[in-house]
Amino acid sequence: MKSDKFEKVKNIPKRYSEELAELFSSKKRIAVIGHHNPDGDAVGGSLGLYIVFKNAGFDVSIIMPSELTEFLLWLPDSEDIVIYDKDKDKASQLLLKAEIIICVDFNEAERVGNAQEALKKSEAVKILIDHHPNPGTDTDYIFSFTEYSSASEIVYEFIELVDFKQYIDKDVASCIYTGIMTDTLNFSVNSSREETFKIVAELLSFGIKKDKIYDNVYNNFSVDRLKLIGYILYKKMKIIKGVDFSYMIITKEEMEEFNFIDGDHEGIVNMPLSVSDINASIIAIEKDDFIKVSLRSKKEIDVNSLSKRFFNGGGHKNAAGGKIYKKIEDTESYIIDSVKTFFKLQDD
Ligand code: 5GP
Ligand code: MN
C-alpha cells in the first residue's frame, strides 16, 4: 500500500475515511513527529494531533528531532514533546513501538535529522501530512497538498476525515491556528483560499484567543534581538544588483555580541522584501559545522529550486532553507556566484 495512496488531488479524498477509521479503531499506539528545527506549523500541527488523540484515549506520543524555539514554548502540552537530540533512546523507542506514525510538515525523511533511522526502521503504518512540493517520504498514506496554507490546515481536515472532530478543544484549536498563522506570516502569504478562512472561523468558535496567540509568537523577543535587527539591516544587508536579490551574512561573533538565541533570526529574512525592488532575500548564519541559510522570495522566483541546487536544502517556492558547507569568509562569494548562476540558468 506504499505511496500509491498519493494522487494529484486538491483535497483529502473522502473515500479514505472508512479505511482510516478502521486503522484507528484497530491500532492504538500513535507517534506524531515534525521536522528538525521545528517551526510553528510543525509544532502546532503535531501538537494539535497529539492532543486530539490524547483526548480520544489513545496511547500517543509527540517527538521533535530538535529543540523548540522560545516563542513556541507557550503552546499547550509542549512540555510533553520528546526531543530526539536530547533523549535519543526514548524518542527511538517511541517511534519503533508505535503502530501508527504521523509525519507533519516535511517532504523528505532527511528533514527529521538523526531520528531518520528509527523512523525508517519502524514498522508502524505511516501517514504524511504536508504541504511541500514533491513528497519523497516512504509513507503508506500521503496527504500532501501544496495549495494549502500549512500542514496544520491539512491536520484540521484530517481530524475531520477520521471522525475525531468531537475531540477538538480550545487547546487543539490554538495549536492548529498557530500553525496556520505562522506559515502564512499572519495571513500575508499562502492564504488566499476561501477554505483557509472557513477553517480559521471554525477554530475561533472553540474560543481561541487569536490576538494573544499573535502576541505570544511575534511580540516575544528581547531588546538584544531588536538591536541585532537594526545592526543587520544597517550594516550587513547587501544587494546583488541586476537580480534584485539581497543577502545578509551573520558571523558567530556577531551573534554572541547580541546574545543571539535560537529563533532570533526568525522573520529577519523577510524584512528586505518590504522594499519594492527587492524580490528575494537570503540570510546566512554561521553555525558550528556549516552555514545555515534561509531564503524568501516574491512572485515567481523559486527559492526552493535555488536551495536544492546550491544550498543543500529545499522548502517551498517562496520560502526555503538549506546549508552551505563552507568557511564563513567564503560564504559571500559563494552566495553571489550561486544566485547569479541560478538566474543565468533560468534565462537560458
Ligand atoms: P526556514 O528558512 O524557516 O528554516 O525554512 C523555510 C522553509 O524551508 C520551511 O518550509 C522548511 O521546512 C524548509 N527548509 C528549511 N531548511 C531546509 C532544509 O535543510 N532542507 C529542506 N528540504 N527544506 C528546508
Ligand atoms: Mn509548513
Q: Domains of the chain, with CATH numbers?
A: 4-218 (3.90.1640.10), 224-347 (3.10.310.30)
**Is the beta carbon of 322 within 6 A of some atom in ligand 1?**
yes
pLDDT band, very low/low/confident/very high, at 2 (cuts 50, 70, 90): very low
pLDDT band, very low/low/confident/very high, at 4 (cuts 50, 70, 90): very low
Q: Which of 128, 125, 130 is nearest to 147 (CA)?
A: 130
Check residue 321 and give its pLDDT: 97
| 329 CA to centre of ligand 2 in angstroms | 32
Check residue 12 and give its pLDDT: 65
pLDDT band, very low/low/confident/very high, at 9 (cuts 50, 70, 90): low
Could you report the per-residue pLDDT of 74-101, keeping only the tens digit for each?
999 999 999 999 999 999 999 999 999 9
Check residue 310 and give its pLDDT: 98
Higher pLDDT, 16 or 256: 256
Cα separation, 274 vs 229, in Å, equals: 14
Contact status, residue 63 vs residue 33, Cβ threshold 8 Å: yes
Q: Kindly report whether the global pTM for this prediction surpasses the value 0.85.
A: yes
Could you report the per-residue pLDDT of 279-311, keeping only the tens digit for each?
999 999 999 999 999 999 998 999 999 999 999
C-alpha distances in Å from residue 134, one per residue of 76, 142, 302, 304, 311 = 31, 11, 14, 11, 18
Q: What's the CA angle centered on 265, arms 342 and 216, to 5 degrees?
A: 130
**Looking at ligand 1, which atom is closest to the CA of residue 132?**
10
Residue 55 has pLDDT above 70, yes or no: yes
Strand partners, 42: none
**Is the beta carbon of 314 within 6 A of some atom in ligand 1?**
yes
Check residue 214 and give its pLDDT: 98
> Quick one: how far is CA 290 from the chain centroid?
20
CA atoms within 13 A on the CB side of 207: 4
Neighbours of 322 (CB within 10 A): 24
Helices (H), the chain: 16-26, 40-55, 88-97, 116-121, 151-161, 170-183, 194-204, 210-218, 223-231, 252-257, 303-310, 328-347
Task: Please identify which residue in the block is written with the cell numbers 492532543.
Answer: 51
Could you report the per-residue pLDDT of 205-259, keeping only the tens digit for each?
999 999 999 999 999 999 999 999 999 999 999 999 888 999 999 999 999 999 9
Return all residues near 300 (Cβ < 8 A) that are at least 6 apart: none
Residue whose Cα lies nearest atom 6 of ligand 1: it is 320
**Is the beta carbon of 294 within 6 A of some atom in ligand 1?**
yes
Contact status, residue 159 vs residue 168, Cβ threshold 8 Å: yes
Residue whose Cα lies nearest atom 13 of ligand 1: it is 315
Return all residues near 213 (Cβ < 8 A) that are at least 6 apart: 174, 177, 178, 181
Residue 8 has pLDDT above 50, yes or no: no
| 277 CA to centre of ligand 2 in angstroms | 27
